[in-house]
Amino acid sequence: MFKVFLSVIKYVIIGFIIVLIIQQLSNDDTVQIFKTYTELRFTPGHYLLLTGILILMPINWLLEGRKWQILMSPHTDLKLKNAVRIVLAGIAAGIFTPGRIGEYAGRAVTSDSSKKIEVVSATLLGSIAQNLCNIAGGLLFSYYFLKNVFHVTNNYILPLILMVAVQICLLLLLYFRLSKVAVVLAEKSVFHRYKDKLYGLGIYTNRILFRVLFLSFVRYGIYTLQYVMTMILLNVQLPITETLGNIMCIYLIQTGIPLPAIISIFARGEIAILVWGTVGVSSITALSATFLIWLINLILPAIAGLKVIAGTNFYSYFKKEEHE
């Protein structure tokens, strides 16, 4: 009976995600965005750009799979193929939850049930590393956004550079001291309920932390490049510094949005409209760029992740859990 119940729950979740995706792809705003793309006069160069954006997507998630492999290396010997499958399942499960916290569950049920705490700690660390890149990149190129919005002059460059440098150094210092901080916090009574998770973070060496951060940085570069290519595809002509400044500012702001990815596309779109509007880019162009990146980098991998979840034996996972 319990086995049937888990199967029903699994397919209800899958059906729910599919319905949400269909709703997002069929509303009036999305139809208008599709119309924008159909009205573009595509040249061979445009097709090349679109192909490049699509090719970068699997590379991006392959790198995330490798990152997951490294994160789990202190606990288990994981093949890259399995690591990518776990990552895709996490994307699918996290796409409809606030702050994508469902990603933890998606990765957990497709991993060894005896590694529950380790999976949570590894997912948390991977998220911290990726967000660190989003924040650092946004800070580094914040000048170009501030110049357009608040008309910051060159007189402020030196103070801004110093402020940004200090902030990034503090973030890096905290990141590479994360294991020590986690162990200290684990001993505090206020964090007692998170004790196991914090101790899980405490085992990571600086070598692992560096490799994870490096892969996070490469991933950041890939989805930034995808965004640049998308703006060129939409015939937006801006200096590369301003383009990068706006893109990285958008990623910085999005890092702090705790909305489900499946319903935050137009919340993200509003941010894009605000940011790109400072340099004269139309709202429909800003929305179209946001939508294409969202579709390629989240929806397509999530569909692949649904297939992974569908093939996962929930009963076997929870049965093992009961015997632990």
Measure the CA–CA gap between 297 and 86, rounded to whole angstroms.
Answer: 16
Query: What is the structure's pLDDT at 262?
Result: 63
Lowest mean pLDDT among 79-93, 101-115, 261-275: 261-275
Share of the chain above pLDDT 90, in %: 32
* Average pLDDT of the residues in 254-283: 78
Q: How confident is the model at residue 195 (pLDDT cuts 50, 70, 90)?
A: low
Measure the CA–CA gap between 289 and 294, rounded to whole angstroms.
Answer: 9
Question: What does the longest C-alpha to C-alpha distance in the chain come to?
Answer: 71
Contacts of residue 7, defined as CB under 8 A and 6 or more positions apart, other chains included, come to 314, 315
- More confident call, 210 vs 7: 210
Q: Say how many residues make up the chain.
A: 324
* Average pLDDT of the residues in 233-241: 91
Does the pLDDT of residue 220 top 90, yes or no?
Answer: yes
Does the pLDDT of residue 271 top 90, yes or no?
Answer: no
Does the pLDDT of residue 132 top 80, yes or no?
Answer: yes
Chain segment 279-309, per-residue pLDDT in tens: 889 988 998 898 899 899 999 999 999 999 9
- More confident call, 115 vs 246: 246
Instruction: Quote the tokens at residue 281.
Output: 């880019």
Place of tokens 């007692």: 192
* Average pLDDT of the residues in 25-37: 76
Query: What is the structure's pLDDT at 209?
Result: 93
Domain boundaries, the chain: 2-322
Measure the CA–CA gap between 223 and 226, rounded to whole angstroms.
Answer: 5
Query: What is the structure's pLDDT at 104?
Result: 87
Q: Are 31 and 274 in contact, with CB atoms under 8 Å apart? A: no
Measure the CA–CA gap between 256 and 10, rounded to whole angstroms.
Answer: 30
* Average pLDDT of the residues in 125-150: 83
Query: What is the structure's pLDDT at 230?
Result: 96
**Alpha-carbon dihedral angle through residues 72, 77, 82, 83, given to the nearest 10 degrees:** 20
Measure the CA–CA gap between 132 and 318, rounded to whole angstroms.
Answer: 34
- Distances in whole angstroms, Cα of residue 284 to Cα of each of 113, 200, 204, 292: 46, 45, 45, 12
Instruction: Quote the tokens at residue 80.
Output: 């890259």
